[in-house]
Structure 1
Amino acid sequence: MNAIEIKNLCKSYGDFSLDNVSFNVEQGSIMGLIGENGSGKTTIIKSILSIIKHDGEISVLGGEIDEDIKQKIGVVFDDAFISNYLTVKEVGKVLSGIYKNWDMEYYNYLLGEFKLPEDKMIKNFSKGMVVKIKIACALSSRPKLLILDEPTSGLDPVIRDEILDIFYDFIEDEEHTILISSHITSDLEKIADYITFIDNGKVLLSKGKDELIEDYGVLKCSEEDLKTVDKAYIERVRREKYSVEALINNKDKFKSNYPNLIVDRVNIDEIMVFYIKGVIM
């Protein structure tokens, strides 16, 4: 079963458009949404939540989004509004009147875990503290689905790691799901089950994270060596002054067929760079 199904999503803003975006987010999984600034990630999220009008089909938790389904979704936006003139204690009281499943006990637990002072106005919080209160609010509504836009931005590595553990615990029962947009791909490498890569409004790939990491590799060689390689293995090529690098698929088979060529492991950042800056053979 899929928690989110997107089919042929289109949306235009002047000179930018989402171009027939399609992908699914499996229930009980974490999907990482990656891409450069302005690639369309936030537009996709706002379309899922029906914040903006769009063309195409979107199903969330088994149906078209309505007020009942919204009650089952926790959201963190980088630019989401929380009044600067409320304390976190007051924020909890406000949200308890909005969300049917609001869990005040869990909210207070998270405030303690995140070391957020209950009686301090949010206007006096650091950026990292504001991110933490947004995450606490999203989780305390006890949602089935979390949709997160840059949730760990501005946090130090220790707090980021603690939050990632909370996200992982959230989906452990295989009934809860997370869609997370992030520039911190090292975080996604830790927790994501799947990666969808958006560039200039198009889906370049949508695959299992482990499949990407294990199947792809970086070939470093000369132009002469590259000419001997079957183009079916080559996803993208980057040329430097004195060397050539190629993003290779089917890494194990490639190594078997070309034992004299060296292929290194690849991470998500490197895959992004190859797809954006590399060329197709």
Structure 2
Amino acid sequence: MNDMGYILEVNGLSKIYPTFELKPISFRIKAGEVMGFIGRNGAGKTTTLKSILNLVHPDAGSVHILGMNYLDNEAKIKQQIGYAVGGINYYKRERLKDIVAITRIFYDNWDEEAYRHYLDAFKLDKNKKIIELSEGMKVKFYLSLALSHHAKLLILDEPTSGLDPVSRDEMNEIFRKLAEKDVAILFSTHITSNLEKCADTISYIKNGALLLSAEKEDFIRHYAKEIGGAPTLEDIMVHIEREEVNL
């Protein structure tokens, strides 16, 4: 890890498509920090997350994870990070146990005991197929894979999409417990309660540009000046949504 203790450092990351431009994005996440990444659909959240992991090739900028340049150390870093998305349908006709049998081969530090712990904690049936799982159970399964190789960074794209409020609260609690173990989490969301209950910092992207990345309290103070009064985070989210609709 670098001297500053940042798990993830994103510096000037950008990607240009014919109809969309991700303008230079920069932010940092420390160990044990949970960052909520917000913005409307099409604002650039998924492009940012995929660019961080080189799932799409960025045109400029750099990413350092655990103090290492990601592009120069991709294989080594992948051993220590986890990535999951809401609405996953990979290998949908495969049984969980068969997916795990393949996955564990790729990780040098796979922990079978930890995997069994999360399988039990998340109440996952290893004999079920992905297609038989609810959206919430799918997310829990892919999280269990990430946690079973002791990932130090989780990058999650809309992990609570499609979850009922109880399952969402459960997932938020899992995030907080992981943060207590110094796991850093970056997750995109459009759900205010996720931010209120588990985010330490918030980054807001609009039309491909990162408008603000700040600690939650500073984020609220910034928009309190713009809106006036003493707005809640929900008030701010409504304000942001209304502003974008009126573009």
Q: TM-score, normalised by structure 1?
A: 0.77
Select 2:10's aligned residue among 6, 12, 16. 6
CA shift in 2, pair 1:277/1:82, >3 Å: closer
- Aligned counterpart, 1:185: 192
Select 1:16's aligned residue among 4, 15, 20. 20
The CA distance in 1 between the partners of 2:183 and 2:135, in whole Å, is 28
Shift of 1:141: 2.0
Shift of 1:271: 4.6
Q: Deviations over 1:8-61 (max 9, x none)?
A: 221012110111122222232111110000111111111111112111122121
The CA distance in 1 between the partners of 2:166 and 2:237, in whole Å, is 21
- Aligned counterpart, 1:240: none
Q: Within the alignment, does 1:152 sit opposite 2:160 as a pair?
A: yes
- Residue pairs, 1:34-53, within 5 angstroms: 34-53=38-57
| SS at 2:68 equivalent | coil
CA shift in 2, pair 1:278/1:2, >3 Å: farther
- Give the AA of the match of 2:36: G
Gaps of 5+ in 1: 218-232, 236-246, 249-262
| SS at 2:24 equivalent | strand
Greater CA radius of gyration, 1 or 2? 1
| SS at 2:160 equivalent | coil
CA shift in 2, pair 1:139/1:271, >3 Å: farther
- Aligned counterpart, 1:256: none
Gaps of 5+ in 2: none
The CA distance in 1 between the partners of 2:239 and 2:218, in whole Å, is 12
The CA distance in 2 between the partners of 1:123 and 1:270, in whole Å, is 35
Shift of 1:142: 0.9
Count of matched residue pairs: 237
After superposition, the CA RMSD in angstroms is 2.0
Q: Residues 92 and 104 of structure 1 are in contact (CA less than 8 Å); yes or no, is this contact kept in structure 2?
A: no
Select 1:109's aligned residue among 96, 111, 117. 117
- Give the AA of the match of 1:96: R
The CA distance in 2 between the partners of 1:31 and 1:162, in whole Å, is 17
Q: Within the alignment, does 1:273 sit opposite 2:241 as a pair?
A: yes
| SS at 1:120 equivalent | coil
Q: Deviations over 1:97-126 (max 9, x none)?
A: 111222222222222222222212222223
- Aligned counterpart, 1:61: 66
CA shift in 2, pair 1:214/1:163, >3 Å: same
Identity of aligned residues (%): 41
Q: Residues 39 and 198 of structure 1 are in contact (CA less than 8 Å); yes or no, is this contact kept in structure 2?
A: yes
The CA distance in 1 between the partners of 2:112 and 2:50, in whole Å, is 27
4+ residue stretches of structure 1 with deviation over 4 A? none
Q: TM-score, normalised by structure 2?
A: 0.87
Shift of 1:127: 2.7
The CA distance in 2 between the partners of 1:57 and 1:128, in whole Å, is 33
